[in-house]
Amino acid sequence: MSEEQKENIQAGNPLGEASVASLMVKFAVPSIIAMIVSALYNIVDQLFIGQAVGTLGNAATNVAFPLTTSCIALALMFGIGGASCFNLNMGRGSSERAVYFVGNAIVCLIGSGVILFGIAEIFLTPLLKGFGAPGDVLPYAQTYVRITAIGFPFMILTAGGCHLIRADGSPQMAMICNLVGAIVNTILDAVFVMVFRWGMAGAAWATIIGQIISAIIVIHYLLHFKTIPLKKEHFYPQIKYIGRTAQIGMASFFNQIAMMLVQIVMNNSLTFYGASSIYGEAIPLACAGIVIKVNQIFFSIVIGLSQGSQPVESFNYGAKKYDRVRKAYRLAALTGVIISIFSFVLFQIFPRQILGLFGTGEPEYFTFGVRFFRIFLFFIWLDALQPITSTFFTSIGKPAKGIFLSLTRQIIFFIPLLLILPRFMGIEGCIYCGPIADFLSAVVTIIMAFLEFKNMPKQDKNR
């Protein structure tokens, strides 16, 4: 393709011409809504389970959550990776190459979902025990996961496919895909759990039915991809496209895997140190699960912001329009910090009221839950910077920096603290790991972002 043809492709794409602020609204708002809706799958299940089953049911959904995180990790690796590669190549004018990343990403999303389903069904009990399930919680978790595992391929395809839909310039459709499934899930939760009294199984069936419906909508859209029509040859797996997609999406993948590892270690620590405290095993496990999932709503907004900035950053970096890249990042970071401060105030003032939404419990349940909310999430007002900056590095084709940054909070800081502090502080040590890790990772994020933007003008002159 000639340079003139490439310039024509770039000039015809609004990602390189429209106002950065308007593009961020166009892409980020539907992304935020889609991510919140996705988070509500787990929140709605926990709300109904908490009311119908109680503390053991809440603890069971917390034990099962690492498998959900695994689904999201795979979806982000191939979804964000494929979307970033597509937008980067479109920005460079390489449209013929760009479309292969979309087709190969779709194949990987479906294939990884089938593999994870098989692993979960075959090794269900050892996995749940490894995730920290006490004996009285294990049967509830087994019932829930054995059913929800059926939905893993659909969940991964929906979560990852929405990134490809967004990259195709249809953020509203990505939002609709998630919204429809969440509405179905909520309605069926009420029917299956509260009316039919199916308990854990009812919540699980409601979840996978919603996921299947969302996946059907995603498949229909991807078969009618707007920018460049997908053909049969685009779906043939090729290592060069899969490898680059995985490489670019690896930062987001590791971020989720790190969160999963943190939760597994946290669950086991809460169970172990909770047993020797006044709270027992189940209360810390249930409270931590509620706090983490409520925090996931805030985090969904931040991830939606970062996803909304991804097409803008990728295309303009590929087109060497670095001022637009800076504007997109700064707008996402500033908005994320404002939302983080609001979340901090909310979680500090209303922790007991939030816990009450998930059912009643003993006085110790509220005592531990309120303390966990206020201390564990104390530095939440800094938490937006790390995922937004990690996605930024991925978007501009620098996955190594994105991977490192995605590992700072969970792997480099949190897990070592979680292995050390409880030895001296007991169950309190599990609580204080969160704010310390949040603060340290925010410092690293700010330094890396500052250095990257400091060097960007030099790159602009050299190219």
pLDDT at position 92? 84
pLDDT at position 289? 85
pLDDT at position 1? 46
| Mean confidence (pLDDT) of the chain | 88
pLDDT at position 46? 77
Reply yes or no on whether the pLDDT at 446 is more than 80.
Answer: yes
Confidence category of residue 296, pLDDT binned at 50, 70, 90: confident
Confidence category of residue 461, pLDDT binned at 50, 70, 90: very low
Reply yes or no on whether the pLDDT at 286 is more than 50.
Answer: yes
Confidence category of residue 2, pLDDT binned at 50, 70, 90: very low
Q: In this predicted model, what pLDDT tens digit does every residue of 143-187 receive, in sequence order?
A: 999 999 999 999 999 999 999 998 898 988 988 998 899 899 999
State what percent of residues in the chain have pLDDT above 70. 95
pTM across the whole model:
0.77
pLDDT at position 44? 80
Q: In this predicted model, what pLDDT tens digit does every residue of 306-330 receive, in sequence order?
A: 878 888 888 888 888 899 999 999 9
pLDDT at position 457? 62
pLDDT at position 256? 84
Reply yes or no on whether the pLDDT at 11 is more than 80.
Answer: no
Q: In this predicted model, what pLDDT tens digit does every residue of 235-278 receive, in sequence order?
A: 999 999 999 999 988 877 887 888 888 889 999 999 999 988 99
Least confident of 113-117, 272-276, 432-436: 272-276
Least confident of 103-107, 127-131, 274-278: 274-278
pLDDT at position 74? 96
Name which of 320, 326, 350, 360 is nearest 453 in CA terms.
326
Q: In this predicted model, what pLDDT tens digit does every residue of 366-421 receive, in sequence order?
A: 999 999 999 999 999 999 999 899 889 988 888 889 889 888 888 899 999 999 99
Confidence category of residue 5, pLDDT binned at 50, 70, 90: very low
Q: In this predicted model, what pLDDT tens digit does every residue of 45-75 receive, in sequence order?
A: 778 887 888 878 888 888 898 999 999 999 9
- Over residues 422-428, the mean pLDDT reads 93
